Amino acid sequence: AAAKITIDPAFTVGPVRRRTFGAFVEHLGRCVYTGIFEPEHPKADEDGFRADVLELTRELGVSTVRYPGGNFVSGYRWEDGVGPVEQRPARLDLAWHSTDPNLVGVDEFAKWSVKAGVEPMMAVNLGTRGTQEALDLLEYCNIDGGTAFSDQRKSNGSENGYGIKMWCLGNEMDGPWQIGHKNALEYGRLAADTARGMRMIDPDLELVVCGSSSPGMDTFGEWERVVLTETYELVDLISAHQYFEDFGDLQEHLAAGYKMESFIADIVSHIDHVKSVKKSAKQVNISFDEWNVWHGSRAESKAPGGKDWPVAPVLLEDRYTVADAVVVGDLLITLLRNTDRVHSASLAQLVNVIAPIMTEPGGRAWKQTTFHPFALTSRHAAGTVLQLAVESPLVSGGKTADFAALSAVATFDAEAGEAVVFAANRSATDALTLDAAVAGLGNVRVIEAVTYANKDPYWQATADDSTSVLPADNVTVKADGGRLTAELPAVSWSMIRLA
């Protein structure tokens, strides 16, 4: 089948935002303990952080990292995680039925962020706690000194405030599983009070109010309307969370990007409805701060129970296939394509827990399949996101109505004179012949073309073999006389760089 696109730098969507390439570190399973932090590991640095994980985090090209949760944050006392380590209490983590030894807290995370070269994005607990504790944490983190909490931070070893800009006002407060779950009005009022206070400390914070945990929530839409009615002038972003599972139907799985696209469109209409009713000049946008493939029905996703409250249990340690990587690549394409309204995003999560980076306690760190499209997109998407004209055959994915087999986006870096096309072929069965009109870019040639696909789309990387299926040169890609042509195999993700 043939698909056509036209790429012209005259048609733009908005800037490529570094914050699109965020990730997430939650106190959950082995994400923190034996993930980013493992003092006994041979590669641990002087602060107990795994240097191999730091290196992979930098290679992944992560921009922001959201912390410390997730569901965890809704029962978290941030004070437990600061001060002399030997005096910190071990606490029950109700969200994941675990014990948290509190060896890592905000100071360690801030230090790790500097080493990883990422911007921290902090979440406050609006489940079991409220406005005052959020203000205390903000004071602890961002005030340089001269107050009780800022001086406490200094005496804990951090002379200067961390200057954390992005703050999440709780997590998934629409979810009945959330400790302190509230209805939209209760939550909207609490979020507004908290945001008002936080802005009194620093008017330039970027605040994220909780949107829906998934488009499938019964309250989706109405939740956004009520919460934004309470908070519109006080927040900058509303969160969106969405995970995708295979359920043994590959074609349906490949519809993930299409479903994310329609979720974004719906959220935009809910935001803009409130904006219009309020006659506001302000534009609230989206923080897509949890997204990924998550095979939630698998055994390792089940939290421990009963009297068992382990430290850092194996939880949500999904193993990803090449098909999952194609989905992740397409979800990133979708986020970029919506850069006008999606101003921040976080792949959930970074290490071990539904993650592109895996570790063995005391042993190796290795890359899952999903690492590759993320790292390549983060490294090469630059400048401006272009609006493409796309003509594609449709595929039908079981439950999902006809959707385009080709999902594509292009970025254009005028300074470097480089355009990059990112494309997913979402057909489970048919290759696509791509025919792109690129005359608008001038006389360009192909400087790199790679495709990620495999005869067996269910191939998974392991600690022993994480390299035998990698993105490989696509030798079919040609650019000549204002035309770019390429063969895109079924279930594939590609990146084509032109200059």
User: CB-based burial of residue 51 (10 Å sphere; 0-12 exposed, 13-18 middle, 19+ buried)?
Assistant: middle
Is 107 a binder of ligand AHR (CB under 6 A)?
Answer: no
> Are 257 and 397 in contact, with CB atoms under 8 Å apart?
no
> Are 202 and 138 in contact, with CB atoms under 8 Å apart?
yes
Q: Which of 317/340 has CB closer to ligand AHR?
A: 317
Distance of CA 16 to the CA centre of its chain: 15
**Residue 492, strand partner residues:** 425
Is 318 a binder of ligand AHR (CB under 6 A)?
Answer: no
Instruction: Point out which span in 51-59, 63-71, 122-130, 442-450 binds ligand AHR (CB under 6 A).
Output: 63-71
Identify the CA nearest to 229 among candidates 284, 180, 181: 284
> Are 220 and 212 in contact, with CB atoms under 8 Å apart?
yes
- Give the integer Cα–Cα distance in Å for 25 and 432: 37
Site string for ligand AHR, 366-395 (x = CB under 6 A): ------------------------------
Is 69 a binder of ligand AHR (CB under 6 A)?
Answer: yes
Is 174 a binder of ligand AHR (CB under 6 A)?
Answer: no
Is 245 considered catalytic here?
Answer: no
Q: How far is the CB of 76 from ligand AHR (least distance, A)?
A: 12
Q: What are the structure tokens assigned to 153, written together?
A: 């931070």
Interface of this chain with ligand AHR, residues 8 to 27, rule: CB under 6 A = 26
Is 93 a binder of ligand AHR (CB under 6 A)?
Answer: no
Instruction: Figure out which of the listed residues 102, 171, 344, 427 binds ligand AHR, where binding follows CB under 6 A.
Output: 171
Number of Cβ within a 10 Å radius of residue 179: 18
Which amino acid would we find at residue 291? Answer: W
Q: How far is the CB of 179 from ligand AHR (least distance, A)?
A: 11
Instruction: Point out which span in 29-37, 67-75, 428-436, 486-494 binds ligand AHR (CB under 6 A).
Output: 67-75
Task: For residue 462, give Cα distances in angstroms to 28, 240, 290, 318.
Answer: 21, 31, 24, 11
Interface of this chain with ligand AHR, residues 224 to 253, rule: CB under 6 A = none
Site string for ligand AHR, 395-434 (x = CB under 6 A): ----------------------------------------
- Give the integer Cα–Cα distance in Å for 30 and 53: 13
In this structure, the strands spanning 432-437 and 2-6 are parallel
Instruction: Figure out which of the listed residues 172, 224, 245, 324 binds ligand AHR, where binding follows CB under 6 A.
Output: 172
Q: How far is the CB of 229 from ligand AHR (least distance, A)?
A: 23
Name the 3-class secondary structure at 168.
strand
Is 172 considered catalytic here?
Answer: yes
Residues with catalytic function? 172, 290
* Footprint on this chain of ligand AHR (rule: CB under 6 A): 26, 28, 69-71, 171-172, 213, 290, 348-349
